[in-house]
Amino acid sequence: MDFRNKGGAGMKAAVILFPGMNCENETLRALKAAGFDADLLRWNTKKEFSHYDCFVLPGGFSYEDRIRAGVISAKDPVMERIKEEANSGKPVLGICNGAQVLIESGLVPGFSNEPQMALAPNTNPEIGGYYCVWVRIKPVMKRRNAYNLLCRENDVIDIPIAHGEGRFTTREDVGRIKDLIAFQFCNEYGEVEDSFPTNPNGSLLSIAGITNREGNVLAIMPHPERASFEKQTLAYGFKTLGLNIFKSMKRHIEEKK
């Protein structure tokens, strides 16, 4: 399917800003570093979406996370427009609060229009509620998706989390969910462990990120935009592999042309 933008020469990305989100600027910088021409669009924009090649919902606390994280934004009319773009094959990336919006909207895992998963409150033995720490994730490479094209089988990505409701869970058949896992929490050797601190929030199957069946929509709780530049990671001795998630999204769009 050809979903190139209709105007301009660059690859265009839109960052959708709901009231209360606060990671939009870091996300814009990461997209631009990955080669995108990126714009920030407010949730109530009337701007035409067909000119954009992909969409990113950043982190934060949309609508103050009232009721539960992401649920009010998921009901906003703009999400119907996002669903149309996703159904046309365009990549849609939700990071942290953006992931919560995608889960609440049913876009991920996408078995129906209703939510089939939840991002429940964290469970770990050290702290209740909001938890901010550097963790490690690995890509699940058995299935190509729009976000792992530049990842390698043995990659261990150092990346921060910052959330209170990040525990992926579901009442769906776990077998259906398992095939859609894109990233899992792991230790420094790339080994997946269910126990804390490797799995920092108690997520089912150590899920850090999961896609829809088509692989063009990703809900990921860790923040790749905060692990994309040396100034963010150099003090820890980490590699800036988070940027590869954005670069993979660009590669996916190029391959679809």
What is the 3-state secondary structure of 77-96?
CHHHHHHHHHHCCCCEEEEC
Of 134, 162, 138, residue with least CA distance to 221: 162
Strands (E), 102-252: 117-120, 131-139, 157-163, 167-170, 181-185, 207-211, 217-220
pTM for this one? 0.94
Of 99, 89, 126, 26, residue with least CA distance to 253: 89
Residue type, 217: V
Domain regions of the chain by residue span: 12-256
Confidence of residue 2 (pLDDT cuts 50, 70, 90): very low
Active site residues: 96, 223, 225
**SS3 call for 54:** strand
Domain 12-256 has what CATH class?
A: alpha beta
In this structure, how many other beta carbons lie within 10 angstroms of the beta carbon of residue 238? Answer: 19
Return d(Cα 175, Cα 169) in angstroms, integer: 13
- Report CA 92 to chain centroid distance, whole Å: 8
Give the list of residues 6+ apart from residue 165 with CB closer than 8 angstroms, or none.
65, 68, 69, 100, 119, 120, 121, 122
Q: What pLDDT, in 10s, does the model give residues 20-63? A: 999 999 999 999 999 999 999 999 999 999 999 999 999 999 99
Cβ atoms of residues 157 and 240 within 8 Å: no
92-95/54-57 β-pairing: parallel
Q: What pLDDT, in 10s, does the model give residues 86-135? A: 999 999 999 999 999 999 999 999 998 889 999 999 999 988 899 999 99
Give the Å distances, CA to CA, from 182 to 115, 177, 178, 208, 243: 19, 11, 9, 8, 16
Cβ atoms of residues 145 and 211 within 8 Å: yes
